């Protein structure tokens, strides 16, 4: 046996393409089209650069307290990390420690199976129904834990709070994680359930609705005992996960409620206009509760549309995976960006003889 036989090998998560060229319309990674709150810039300008020689606060207390105050929680009910990916990875390491398989949808955030494979966690992927909806009745019986996004990705489908409560009630011997990366764009948060069920964890991110993807800030909220377990694992793995600028900027962002509400409202309004535009062009898509739409054209291959748009410097997301290989996930950009997308799609469909002005 050689040394390579002792190396842990996994199939890695593949993030959306980050084009280096200028003048592209980037609608492939669900970033916000708007800048962070002006209060973020102020906070970063006030940061004394000389202090960067010191380690940051390992407890990230300023950020934790700001999140707790915003949501009406105790600081003992909040955990923070380097984006929700880091937070979720810590959750996998902490809470999924059983020989029973964890459960998550077959069409969902594609990091879940990567973490499970990396950490040797058994898992079972449960098929969404024919409308790409989660079936709560599938999430019953013995398991090692449950995780799903709400709204789901890449479909944008929202599971009502009562159905999430049904899943939590059926799994009180397991941890149930609700990944709310997109909840601020539509729907009711499951956060109240952390006080109703001791086994529920809700995770969120500052990358989408807080316009801070570049700083990598995420959080988990749960019963204080679960948060303690998370912190015990974090301090055993990397004590200083949050850097000083992220702590300062994150606290400033969440305190600016008015700016947050303004940006999310603009994105929701643009999403509705973009949905109508796509339907007028012959695309089929359900109403989305996220900052993206999941669309298919019944007469054109999605990969062909993806390639055409890329040739026009418009980037969207396509997966060549079973069940969704005819779909494109399109992030909601500014009104101007979505209009440019519409014009490009019109040109493409005209060439195919599928659209008449």
Across-strand partners of 178? 148, 202
pLDDT tens, N- to C-terminus, the chain (357 residues): 788 888 888 888 888 888 888 899 999 999 999 999 999 999 999 999 999 999 999 999 999 999 999 999 999 999 999 999 999 999 999 999 999 999 999 999 999 999 999 999 999 999 999 999 999 999 999 999 999 999 999 999 999 999 999 999 999 999 999 999 999 999 999 999 999 999 999 999 999 999 999 999 999 999 999 999 999 999 999 999 999 999 999 999 999 999 999 999 999 999 999 999 999 999 999 999 999 999 999 999 999 999 999 999 999 999 999 999 999 999 999 999 999 999 999 999 999 999 886
Residues 6+ apart with CB under 8 A from 146: 102, 103, 104, 139, 167, 171, 174, 175, 176, 177
Beta 176-179 vs 145-149: how paired, if at all? parallel
Tokens 């900052």, residue located: 291
Kindly report the number of other CB atoms within 10 A of residue 91's CB atom: 27
Cβ-Cβ contacts under 8 Å for 173 (sequence gap 6 or more): 199
Among 294, 311, 314, 263, which Cα is nearest to 27's? 314
Euclidean distance between the first and the last CA atom of the chain, given in angstroms as a whole number:
66
Sheet strands (E) in the chain? 25-26, 78-81, 102-105, 123-126, 145-149, 176-179, 200-205, 218-222, 292-295, 314-315, 317-318, 328-331
């Amino acid at each position: 046996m050689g040394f390579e036989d002792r190396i842990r090998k996994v199939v890695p998560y593949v993030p959306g393409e980050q084009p280096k060229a200028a003048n592209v319309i980037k609608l492939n990674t669900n970033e916000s089209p708007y800048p962070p709150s002006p209060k973020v810039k102020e906070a970063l300008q006030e940061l004394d650069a000389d202090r960067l020689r010191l380690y940051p606060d390992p407890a990230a207390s300023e950020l934790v307290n700001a999140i707790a105050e915003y949501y009406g929680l105790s600081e003992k009910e909040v955990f923070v990390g380097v984006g929700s990916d880091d937070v979720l990875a810590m959750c996998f390491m902490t809470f999924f420690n059983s020989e029973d398989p964890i459960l998550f949808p077959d069409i969902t955030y594609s990091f879940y199976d990567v973490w499970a494979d990396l950490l040797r966690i058994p898992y079972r992927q449960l098929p969404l129904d024919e409308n790409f909806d989660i079936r709560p009745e599938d999430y019953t019986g013995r398991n090692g834990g449950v995780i799903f996004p709400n709204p789901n990705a890449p479909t944008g489908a929202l599971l009502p709070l009562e159905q999430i409560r049904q899943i939590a009630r059926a799994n009180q011997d397991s941890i149930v994680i609700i990944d709310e990366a997109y909840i601020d764009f539509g729907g009711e948060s499951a956060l109240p359930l952390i006080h109703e069920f001791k086994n529920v964890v809700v995770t969120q991110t500052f990358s989408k609705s807080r316009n801070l993807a570049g700083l990598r800030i995420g959080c988990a909220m749960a019963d204080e005992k679960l948060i303690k377990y998370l912190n015990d694992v974090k301090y055993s793995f990397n004590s200083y996960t949050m850097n000083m600028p992220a702590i300062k900027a994150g606290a400033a962002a969440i305190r600016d409620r008015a700016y947050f509400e303004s940006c999310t409202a603009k994105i929701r309004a643009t999403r509705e206009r973009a949905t109508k535009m796509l339907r007028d062009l012959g695309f089929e898509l359900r109403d989305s509760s996220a900052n993206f739409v999941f669309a298919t054209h019944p007469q054109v291959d999605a990969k062909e549309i993806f390639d055409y748009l890329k040739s026009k410097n418009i980037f969207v997301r396509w997966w060549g995976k079973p069940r969704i290989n005819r779909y494109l996930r399109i992030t909601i950009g500014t009104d101007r960006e979505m209009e440019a997308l519409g014009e490009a799609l019109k040109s493409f469909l005209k060439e195919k003889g599928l659209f008449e002005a």
